[in-house]
Amino acid sequence: MSSTTNKYPFFDLSELNIENEFNHTYEKLKPVKTGNLIPDVNLVTDYKRWRNFYNGAPTNGPVSLKHLYGRPLTIAFYSTHWGDRGIEQLKRLNEIQNEIKANGGNLLVLTDGADREALARITWEHSLTLNFYYDNDNKIASKFRVYSEKDPTWNTYAGIDFNIPLLSVYVIDTERHITYHYIDRDLETNFRTDDLLTAIYESSLANVRKKSA
């Protein structure tokens, strides 16, 4: 038997198409910022997508997208997986909700709906009066680029085992221009209330002037 006979089949490595299951495209999250345009938020009136609470108790009522869109809108992204940090942000938003309305704006919290029972428990325990909208599949969060499959949240934040939207707050005017943004990158600093309310007031004033022109 020839000593040159191969025991195993011969493969030309140039013909192999090596696929690594971990070789996914990575693209760092780049959230939209003040001055950017969000052309379509895509809220729907399906009652299953909305959860309204008054002092922690669930309430039911009609959803008026015309009213919501007719004033500058503060949008906050939230997930129960943010734990105490997320609750802290909800409490701060709850505290300034009347000021948001007094300055001519509306407030809506978008959640991934990861744990609906936990959301109800949190609002009850902290007597929150907030309106929530379930952002199924994080479609709206993706438009704001605070969520992406290409840069999962667990890549950045220790203790987070789920890919969830960044804790963030935006103000958009009636033309869908972003007039304020806050991204909680370090989980230590909070959004500045004065800056947020100023953005709402100025956006509301511009809207009134446009209507009266």
The answer to whether 107 and 144 have CB atoms below 8 angstroms apart is no
The first and second tokens of residue 133, run together, are 């909208």
132 forms beta bridges with 51, 109
Looking at residue 11, its pLDDT comes to 38
Q: What is the mean pLDDT of residues 173-190?
A: 92
Domain positions in the chain: 32-212
Please determine, for residue 4, whether its predicted confidence score (pLDDT) is greater than 50: no
C-beta atoms surrounding 117 within 10 Å: 8
Task: Indicate the SS3 state at residue 108.
Answer: strand
Characterize 61-90 residue by residue with b for buried, 16 or more Cβ atoms within 10 angstroms of its Cβ, and e for exposed: eebeeeebeebbbbbbbbbbbbeeebbbbb
Looking at residue 10, its pLDDT comes to 44
Looking at residue 74, its pLDDT comes to 97
Looking at residue 115, its pLDDT comes to 80
C-beta atoms surrounding 174 within 10 Å: 16
pLDDT digits (tens, 9 = 90+) for 87-138: 999 999 999 999 999 999 999 999 997 788 999 999 999 999 999 999 999 9
Q: What's the mean pLDDT when you consider all of the chain?
A: 87
Please determine, for residue 50, whether its predicted confidence score (pLDDT) is greater than 80: yes
Say what the pTM is.
0.85
DSSP code of residue 106: E
- As a whole number of angstroms, the distance between CA 112 and CA 17 comes to 37
Find where tokens 């085992």 sit. Answer: 161
pLDDT digits (tens, 9 = 90+) for 9-34: 443 444 444 344 444 577 888 999 99
The pair phi, psi for residue 164, each rounded to 5°, is -130, 160
The first and second tokens of residue 130, run together, are 């907030």
Find where tokens 């309305």 sit. Answer: 101
Please determine, for residue 141, whether its predicted confidence score (pLDDT) is greater than 80: yes
- As a whole number of angstroms, the distance between CA 65 and CA 44 comes to 8
Q: What is the mean pLDDT of residues 67-82?
A: 94
The answer to whether 97 and 130 have CB atoms below 8 angstroms apart is yes
Query: Could you tell me which CATH number the domain at 32-212 has?
Result: 3.40.30.10
